[in-house]
Structure 1
């Protein structure tokens, strides 16, 4: 199903090593091949080493009903083909060799983004409305249930800025741990919807406290500024097209 569908409540939930860490992503069909798209830092650490051995992927459809989801398990993540952008926080996991993963649930009407659904960075318009879709699992509190973890949460905002030098764009949505890798959908003037990128990280607001008597004692507090940095999807599609 293409992004012309008004219900865009879908994304992929990622569980690393049986829930030790989580992230978001989405299914991409590009040049007739299938991929999982997510942020590079979800699966790789600062030294470019995998954070986990196994990965459970839950692909959603537009209803986000748990029984309709497609579930894939990659038991040995180091053996599967992963395309990584050298300069940006985005990767694509190949889902074209069925011997390297197993399907636990086939799902129903699973959403896949296609070539025609993708918008490039140069076509993004400042102040256009956007939707962020993902699984902010860090908002879950013990003994307090605010939302269903099996369903993605949406957040509405605008394109707040474009950083051409870093090849990123900024949205005015606060994002949280678990949102990383989630898709960003842009609404354009002709009511066309395009998937333009993924969540990379939030922009912090830093408050610094100093001790008046001991100037060496400094404390910094980081809070969420409400802005987030996103990587354009064209970063990975250019790599895949090669």
Structure 2
């Protein structure tokens, strides 16, 4: 069994920072191993506008190093050439990063695998990927399907961890944290909205968090990725001036966040790679 509420170290390296067109826009995401390929998973609105046009020409993906080396890996992605797809209903998008090659044929079940680097693999990148920074002794961690859980399995009240890059926090010239590394928040699953195929967590999110992974600590003492950050739920305040006949509406962060279940990413890959 895991030690309660001690997030496994490999989970800390899932999330990646996304920078579009050299910082004109930011978001979060994570890497997923599925069907012998490696994919970048993020929210649809991170990569696409409301009219579904691509937001940028180029994307820089900053990945954390599981060997505790300070310098992360940075990959450039040509979005005009990339295999980049979105879901029309759910707020999720994918980019195919390339094939992954297993380093070992035999793989222990993740629940019993006590190694620091679980199921290591080598990424054979697509032609539209370019290496910007590649430190020596680099080890990257991608999510395995076995370490996920569907919306019908999650439980209201279970602990969750939100990982991502809230790049909008802090003062521009006085940063209080390293914006190139993910920040975590801890909360609970607050509700499930099955008609919308979403669930709610009681963690506040900010600009830059969109697309980041949500980790659930299950009742069986294991940690699994269950979803993708979509948007925060606003707290709405209205006041009305009867004299000037003016109504003012203010929106603030309620502290609740809407998330898309991880199954939406698997379904999107299945549809687009038939």
TM-score (norm 2): 0.82
More helix as a share of residues? 1
2:177 to 123, 147, 156: 147
Contact 1:27 1:59 in 2 (8 A): no
Structure 1 unmatched ranges of 5 or more: none
Question: 1:9 aligns to what SS in structure 2?
Answer: helix
1:230 aligned partner: 259
Superposed counterparts of 1:4-153, under 5 Å? 6-7=8-9, 8-10=11-13, 11-62=15-66, 65-67=69-71, 69-74=72-77, 76-96=78-98, 98-107=126-135, 108-153=138-183
Distance 1:63 1:218 in 2: 55
Contact 2:32 2:142 in 1 (8 A): yes
Superposed counterparts of 1:182-201, under 5 Å? 182-201=212-231
Q: Deviations over 1:96-120 (max 9, x none)?
A: 2521111223352211001111111
2:197 to 163, 167, 176: 167
Distance 2:201 2:96 in 1: 28
Please state how far the C-alpha of 1:63 moved relative to its aligned partner: 6.5
Contact 2:235 2:252 in 1 (8 A): yes
Please state how far the C-alpha of 1:190 moved relative to its aligned partner: 1.5
Please state how far the C-alpha of 1:64 moved relative to its aligned partner: 6.4
1:210 to 240, 244, 248: 240
Contact 2:67 2:139 in 1 (8 A): no
Aligned length: 236
Is 1:221 aligned to 2:246, yes or no? no
RMSD of aligned Cα (Å): 1.6
Between stretches 102-111 and 115-124, larger displacement belongs to: 102-111
Please state how far the C-alpha of 1:31 moved relative to its aligned partner: 1.7
Structure 2 unmatched ranges of 5 or more: 1-5, 99-124
Question: 1:18 aligns to what SS in structure 2?
Answer: coil
Please state how far the C-alpha of 1:145 moved relative to its aligned partner: 2.1
Cα distance, 1:64–1:159 mapped onto 2, change above 3 Å: farther
Please state how far the C-alpha of 1:83 moved relative to its aligned partner: 2.5
Between stretches 112-121 and 57-66, larger displacement belongs to: 57-66
Please state how far the C-alpha of 1:62 moved relative to its aligned partner: 4.4
